[in-house]
Amino acid sequence: MIPFNKPYMTGRELSYIAQAHANGHLSGDGPYTKQCHAWLRESTRASTALLTHSCTAALEMAALLLNLQPGDEVIMPSYTFVSTANAFALRGAVPVFVDIRDDTLNIDQTLIEDAITPRTKAICVVHYAGVACEMDAITAIAEAHGLPVIEDAAQGIMSTYRGAPLGTIGELGAFSFHETKNIISGEGGALLCRKAEYAERAEIIREKGTNRSRFFRGQVDKYTWVDIGSSFLPGEITAAFLSAQLEEAEAITQRRLDIWRRYHDWASDHAVAGRVIRPTIPDGCVHNAHMYYLLLPSLEARTHFIQSLRAQGVQAVFHYIPLHSSPAGRMHGRAGSSMAVTDDISDRVVRMPLWIGVEEHLPHIFEAADQALYAI
Ligand SMILES: *Cc1c(COP(=O)(O)O)cnc(C)c1O
């Protein structure tokens, strides 16, 4: 079976882990964490970047930083991973789901304004497949209503929108280094703060609500409990692994983009014939080839396509049960617009295997997918 995902190792992970072991510093915020922070700041130009143990944790930190109260509302897409909503629901806030565009599958910026109520406290966008949302329009709406924008950029490292790295356009951004993402550390993530205003409190929230980071820098002579918080930081072994990956981020992105383009070229005839719809990359968006997906004509067609690929040894997958129709989404959130596109797309999307090393299998994958599509 050609798997849907296979984590890529650069080859230096183990020696960096051995070095972390030799350094004798295994808890968080050691030399490898500092190296990752510096890399993230330089590559994104965010004023602060803090490693977390997951993107989920980074989103939870964002929700804490916003001081959300029970009953506050946060606008977000329904077509996303559960962590986008969970982070805010954990604060008692209500996720208000807005439909997506049928081209990029990102939140439909034209529907956001109508979903704003006096209780709205933030807009959380998700850059699906590492392709940016319409951030100029979204930022304008947010500014007009005095709302902060949070970017769930879990899939968006190394992508840009009009030259700006994803995760640095809103007030706060969250990356994921989960093994299914482009740059990995098993579990892992980072919180980006565009401006300094959130930075000091972010550091405190991440360190169990203490001013320990200031203490280690010699800025206070003892450290103490100063705010609510939790343990959101990864250990040095994880940071050592991530250091090896970040050093190769450019090369990893280029190799993924080559694979992405080969899928896109292959799918072109099927798109012309109306058998599939290919992803759209709007002008001004530079993406990171996080995902190659296709839209099939119907749920039945998608089911046949995935089964046929499976029978030919290729694992393709679908995702997102829309949050507005999931049990917890119904309990904690509500729809803030029609969900017509979300409901339709989530029945028709299929994700193809995209990982470094899949290149040698592409001829077989294309042949299997041709056969599956002609049979639909
Ligand atoms: C992967 C992902 C997450 C969660 O990332 P973790 O690092 O596993 O917590 C959140 N949001 C989106 C859109 C994702 O794709």
| Helix/strand/coil for 369 | helix
Q: What is the pTM of this model?
A: 0.98
Task: Report the topology of domain 13-248.
Answer: Aspartate Aminotransferase; domain 2 (3.40.640)
Check pocket membership of 211 for ligand 1, CB cut-off 6 A. no
Q: Which is the closest atom of ligand 1 to the Cα of 155?
A: 15
Pocket residue to mutate for ligand 1, from 88, 90, 155, 351, most atoms within 8 A of Cβ: 155
Q: Once rounded to an integer, what is the mean pLDDT over residues 135-149?
A: 98
Closest residue to atom 1 of ligand 1, CA basis: 154
The model's pLDDT over 204-241, given as tens digits with 9 standing for 90+, comes to: 999 999 999 898 899 999 999 999 999 999 999 999 99
Q: 98: closest CA among 129, 120, 83? A: 120
Q: How confident is the model at residue 183 (pLDDT cuts 50, 70, 90)?
A: very high
Q: Which is the closest atom of ligand 1 to the Cα of 128?
A: 13
| Helix/strand/coil for 306 | helix
> Distance, CA 301 to ligand 1 centroid (Å)?
28
- How far apart are the C-alpha atoms of 344 and 256, rounded to whole Å? 28
Q: Mean pLDDT over all residues of the chain? A: 97
- How far apart are the C-alpha atoms of 356 and 218, rounded to whole Å? 44
- How far apart are the C-alpha atoms of 53 and 144, rounded to whole Å? 34
Predicted pLDDT of residue 261: 98
Residue type, 79: Y
Predicted pLDDT of residue 202: 97
pLDDT of residue 195 exceeding 90: no
Report domain extents, the chain: 13-248, 250-374
Q: How confident is the model at residue 104 (pLDDT cuts 50, 70, 90)?
A: very high
Check pocket membership of 83 for ligand 1, CB cut-off 6 A. yes
Q: Once rounded to an integer, what is the mean pLDDT over residues 354-362?
A: 98
Name residue, tokens 């050093």: 247
Predicted pLDDT of residue 77: 98
Predicted pLDDT of residue 362: 98
Query: Quick one: angle between helices 340-348 and 299-311, nearest 10?
Result: 20
CATH class of 250-374: alpha beta
Predicted pLDDT of residue 321: 95
Check pocket membership of 178 for ligand 1, CB cut-off 6 A. yes
Predicted pLDDT of residue 190: 99
Neighbour count for residue 103 (Cβ, 10 Å): 15
Q: Which is the closest atom of ligand 1 to the Cα of 180?
A: 1
Check pocket membership of 152 for ligand 1, CB cut-off 6 A. yes
Residue type, 372: A
pLDDT of residue 158 exceeding 90: yes
Check pocket membership of 182 for ligand 1, CB cut-off 6 A. no
Check pocket membership of 308 for ligand 1, CB cut-off 6 A. no
Alpha helices (H) along the chain:
13-23, 31-44, 55-65, 82-89, 112-115, 135-145, 199-206, 212-216, 236-247, 249-272, 299-311, 327-332, 340-348, 362-374
